[in-house]
Structure 1
Amino acid sequence: MSANDLQDLGVKLLSHGLKSQNCQLEILRLAHCILTGQCCEFVASVLLSSNSRLKELDMSGNDLLNIGMKLLSDGLKSPNCQLEILRLRHCNVTDEGCGYLSLALRSNPSQLRELDLSLNHLGESGVRMLSDLLKNPNCTLNKLKI
């Protein structure tokens, strides 16, 4: 669905279908869809759902900001979250957003193997928080792009 004018309302509507027990979708690409951080609330609701089978999510090239990372982190904390690959390139995330992601991944040892936060506005403390995740023995992350 990348490079479409979905906007937040489109993701809200899409999230209803993704939470259906009949949905078998494992890969969702929403890169460059004119999304804001508010759409992450709907994406998080999918990750929280026991019906979700999402393994790969790409939201790159959207203006998600730190509020998006805060909302998305709610879904990443869920034991129902099955994400293995999360791409958030060029989403205007700063150290604050890294803090939300780092906390979420520490609080729930998820299945996340790959996290791409390249082309964001990460400072030294954001990079440090994410790098420290790799030292955690419960961390399954083996590919971190910053």
Structure 2
Amino acid sequence: MRELQLSGNKAGDSGVKHLSSLLEDPNCKLEKLNLQNCSIGEEGFRALASALRSNPSHMRELQLGGNIAGDSGVKHLSSLLEDPNCKLEKLHLYYCSIGEEGFRALASALRSNPSHMRELQLSGNKAGDSGVKHLSSVLEDPNCKLEKLHLDNCSIGEEGFRALASALRSNPSHMRELQLWGNKAGDSGVKHLSSLLEDPNCKLETLNLIYCSITDEGFRALASALRSNPSALRELYLNGNQLGPSAQQLLSKLEKHPNSKHLQIHGSNESILL
């Protein structure tokens, strides 16, 4: 057995405890486990983390989104992530009721063992600016090779965007996909992000800024950055922001730029007011 998909069942903590007895068996070589939306709480996360610490070297993908982890559950999981024998590459924890303390624990664990994780999905949690600052301390580590980061609907404001952009400028060559829709970036937050995009070492291919309270001022900063370094980005999502005629014109010109022939801007021909 290499892959087990059990999402959408009523496992609960008791069910996960039974499954954990399998995971801790040294003969178990499971690589992918999907337990999304399985009504798992703190005790289930504790059992799962404990079992995987006993046998940490095979699991590569752990999908746990839609469960009630909370900060306590994530702290148990963090004890697995900091194990040098843990080779986890993909971790999905979206909508798991995680707050700042959970983000702090997660960041601390990943700083201890940063080189394996490639995809981190944390959308729908209460990160706030403080939580993102903790996570940024991982992103700026040169040993961090994260390629996909999802932080949609995480209550992130200007300070969070500043921290995120600063961290990625320190280590810009690995990130390929950044999902940030539904946060309160505003024009100031997007200006910080634009300083990352204009870095020639930035290899970001997909950037999602849907419903991020951006107006023409932010769009001008974004367009200016992309004119400076247009070759990497492939997908830019801007729907649901306050896109005025001048910004539309700028982005339209950017799409037609000879170095931007692969760039697709979604939402550049519409104005959807928040």
Bin of the TM-score, shorter chain as denominator length: over 0.9
Letter in 2 for 1:128: K
Gapped runs of 5+ residues in structure 1? none
Q: Is the 8 A contact 2:81 2:110 kept in 1?
A: no
Q: Is the 8 A contact 1:134 1:142 kept in 2?
A: no
Report runs of 4+ in structure 1 exceeding 3 Å deviation: none
* 2:170 matched residue in structure 1: 107
Letter in 2 for 1:23: C
Q: Pick the aligned partner of 2:157 from 71, 74, 94.
A: 94
Give, in whole Å, the separation in 1 of the partners of 2:149 and 2:105: 16
Residues 20-76 of structure 1: CA deviation (Å, up to 9, x unaligned): 233221110000000102212222123322465110001000111000111111111
* Larger relative contact order (CA 8 Å, sep ≥ 6): 1
Taking structure 1 as reference, are residues 51 and 95 closer, same or farther at Cα in structure 2, changes over 3 Å only?
closer
| 1:40 aligned onto 2:68 | no
Once the two structures are overlaid, the 10-residue window that deviates more, 1-10 or 14-23, is: 14-23
Taking structure 1 as reference, are residues 51 and 123 closer, same or farther at Cα in structure 2, changes over 3 Å only?
closer
TM-score by length of 2: 0.51
Q: How many residues align?
A: 146
Larger Rg: 2
Root-mean-square deviation over aligned CA pairs: 1.4
Letter in 2 for 1:88: L
Gapped runs of 5+ residues in structure 2? 1-63, 210-274
Taking structure 1 as reference, are residues 63 and 50 closer, same or farther at Cα in structure 2, changes over 3 Å only?
closer
Taking structure 1 as reference, are residues 120 and 98 closer, same or farther at Cα in structure 2, changes over 3 Å only?
same
Residues 97-138 of structure 1: CA deviation (Å, up to 9, x unaligned): 100001111122351111111011110011121123111011
Note the 1:126-145 alignment, pairs <5 A: 126-145=189-208
| 1:25 aligned onto 2:114 | no
Once the two structures are overlaid, the 10-residue window that deviates more, 121-130 or 27-36, is: 121-130
1:144 match: secondary structure: strand
Give, in whole Å, the separation in 2 of the partners of 1:94 and 1:51: 26
Letter in 2 for 1:8: D
| 1:63 aligned onto 2:126 | yes
Give the share of equivalent positions with the same residue, in percent: 45
